[in-house]
Amino acid sequence: MVKVGIIGASGYTGAELLRLCAQHPSVEVVAATGDSQAGTLASHLYPSLAAAYPNLVFEEFTVDRFTGLDVVFLGIPHEAALEIAPQLVGKVGCVIDLSAAYRLKDSSLYPTWYGFDHTQPELLAQAVYGLPELYRSQLPGAQLIATPGCYVTAASLALTPLVRAGLVQSQGVIVDAASGVSGAGRALKHGSLFSTVDEDFTAYGLLDHRHTPEIEQVTSAQVLFTPHLAPMNRGILATCYARPQGDAPTTASLLASLATFYKDEPFIVVRPQVPSTKATLGTNTVHITARYDERTGYVMVLAALDNIAKGASGGAVQSMNVALGLPEVSGLSTVGVYP
């Protein structure tokens, strides 16, 4: 069995990691921290975990508690991950970070986009980006994996095949995406209160959302990214626009290019039908479609996923599977919860 620890298990991504690990045939969770909830039964905070973890108690973090484990997930804020990861890399088999602390390869971007200086250039260079569909060959044996952002996962999987194939221009790409409220985390914030979110739909992070440089890093495209908050718990729907490069494509040729690129991917569904967030609920699956509009000359690509699953914890477990040589689909569902 793979011995797993979760640091920050009391947050939404931590709870999702616990759910996914409970259904993973090769994983045993041996330690779970939640400093703000230390001493609390996991099942008290999340009754959904009661059957799988009746006696699991959130702990406070100590390095010794995690030393020697096969995998440690970090579900903590960026600067906390920047502090804790160096204490664990080399002492555990693999550290998988769900924050942005090791995502951006250019450390000079962190003060502008995240408000802190990056103090671990060696680890930043060592970190492998945890998006198996695009970086699978780099994951086996990785000691530090940086799990992508949820918006980034959707936009990158939609756009990258077309950019790499030279079918769309890499300049002036527009990503318009909406996320469920769980993307804001479990902390009490005015912007994620029920009375604030219910019956509302709003844009935020105009021109300066921190996922922008990450999307550009993965897609190799210049991107104008606008996120929106939707009144739903989970899910992301990204609508991406780009100008074609070379001869004008057709909708059929775009779909064929995407389907060919992802033909062996267990978690990517390319279909003519418009993607739906509900269809991906609770899964590690991404639904993608594309159109070419002859009237305006734009290529449009849409992607839907579950922001906590494939967009965070599910993607992290998928990367773990690849890194350790386990079946990539272990512990992960491709069938959504419906209705």
Query: 236 near 288, Cβ under 8 Å?
Result: no
Class of residue 118 by CB neighbours under 10 A (exposed 0-12, middle 13-18, buried 19+): buried
* Residue 28 in tokens: 């045993």
Please state, in angstroms and rounded to a whole number, the distance separating the CA atoms of residues 141 and 134.
17
Query: 103 near 130, Cβ under 8 Å?
Result: no
Please state, in angstroms and rounded to a whole number, the distance separating the CA atoms of residues 91 and 76.
19
Spatial strand order of the sheet with 268-270 comes to 202-203, 223-229, 173-179, 236-242, 298-305, 286-293, 268-270
Catalytic residues: 150
- DSSP category for residue 187: S
Please state, in angstroms and rounded to a whole number, the distance separating the CA atoms of residues 5 and 280.
27
